């Protein structure tokens, strides 16, 4: 049924644009090991988009790590280092309002790190989305979302917020893509709550909750 719908959609698009400058554009959808993929052709050049998330492959070719970091951002891409368990992976597998929640230890920032093994070459666009909540008991709410630049050996800011309600943070990268995928094919993302936990008569905590994270990879085939 899915294949029939994809074929009908492709034929419809072709008919709409027949005879126009876009008559060479065709669309289709398919499923790959990495996740859901879509494909299209523009003037003879074919492109696919594959979505990486934790609905499949968790702990195999994509990993998530939890709890906290001592610096924002940390100087390396190896922290936090406590891997999610099966139940925790399930909580971030879809955008469904179910969260994996962390509370940082004293003087640390609540954090989640995500590593995706990217299989594609000739990448033209990375579209990255994180959904969740960053909150502090008394200091600055919100969070900062980073990507690791392995060429510069440092994190770069993708998006940020100082607000407490649930948010979507996202970014598009269309140039220098190879700076963000290391020699092993891994891309690393980091979500860090904006303020550290601390104690002043009482404990005041840094808290982070992730609902969903994904990377859409568009590449030429």
Give the pLDDT of residue 43: 65
Q: What is the pLDDT of residues 65-123, one digit of tens each?
A: 999 999 999 999 999 999 999 999 999 999 999 999 999 999 999 999 999 999 999 99
Residue 32 confidence (pLDDT) above 70: no
Question: Which position has the higher pLDDT, 173 or 15?
Answer: 173
3-state secondary structure the chain: CHHHHHHHHHHHHHHHCCCCCCCCCEEEEEEECCEEEEEEEECCEEEEEEEECCCCCECCCEEEEEEEECCCCCCCCCCCCEECCHHHHHHCCCCCCCCEEEECCECCEEEEEEEEECCCCCEEEEEEEEEEEEEECCCCCCEEEEEEECCCCEEEEEEEECCCCCEEEEEEECCCHHHHCCCCCEEEEEEEECCCEEEECEEECEEEEEEEEEEEEEEEC
Q: Mean pLDDT for the chain? A: 87
Which band of pLDDT confidence, cut at 50, 70 and 90, is reported for residue 9? very low
Q: What is the pLDDT of residues 159-196, one digit of tens each?
A: 999 999 999 999 999 999 999 999 999 999 999 999 99
CA atoms in the 13 A half-sphere facing the CB of 18: 6
Q: What is the pLDDT of residues 42-57, one digit of tens each?
A: 667 799 999 999 999 9
Give the Cβ contact number of residue 139 at 10 Å. 14
Question: Which position has the higher pLDDT, 1 or 175?
Answer: 175
Question: Which position has the higher pLDDT, 2 or 103?
Answer: 103
Q: What is the pLDDT of residues 136-147, one digit of tens each?
A: 999 999 999 999
Nearest-angstrom CA–CA distance, 179 and 78:
17
Domains of the chain: 2-52 (no CATH), 62-220 (2.60.120)
Mean pLDDT of 129-152: 99
Nearest-angstrom CA–CA distance, 137 and 25:
51
Mean pLDDT of 25-47: 57
Give the pLDDT of residue 3: 36
Residue 39 confidence (pLDDT) above 90: no
């Amino acid at each position: 049924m899915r294949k029939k719908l994809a074929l009908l959609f492709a034929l419809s698009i072709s008919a709409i644009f027949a005879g126009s400058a876009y008559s060479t554009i065709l669309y289709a959808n398919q499923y790959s090991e990495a996740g859901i993929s879509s494909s299209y052709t523009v003037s003879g050049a074919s492109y696919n988009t594959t979505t990486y998330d934790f609905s499949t492959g968790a702990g195999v070719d994509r990993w998530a790590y939890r709890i906290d970091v001592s610096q924002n951002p940390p100087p390396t891409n190896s922290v936090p280092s406590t891997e999610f368990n099966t139940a925790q992976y399930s909580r971030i597998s879809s955008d469904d309002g179910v969260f994996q929640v962390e509370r940082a230890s004293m003087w640390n920032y609540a954090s989640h790190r995500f590593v995706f093994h990217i299989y594609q070459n000739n990448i033209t666009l990375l579209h990255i989305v994180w959904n969740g909540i960053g909150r502090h008991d008394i200091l600055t709410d919100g969070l900062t979302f980073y990507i690791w630049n392995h060429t510069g050996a440092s994190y770069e800011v993708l998006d940020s917020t100082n607000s407490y309600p649930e948010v979507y943070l996202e970014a598009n990268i269309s140039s220098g893509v190879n700076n963000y995928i290391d020699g092993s094919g891994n891309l690393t993302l980091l979500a860090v709550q904006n303020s550290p936990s601390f104690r002043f008569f009482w404990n005041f905590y840094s808290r982070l909750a992730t609902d969903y994270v994904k990377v859409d990879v568009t590449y030429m085939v």
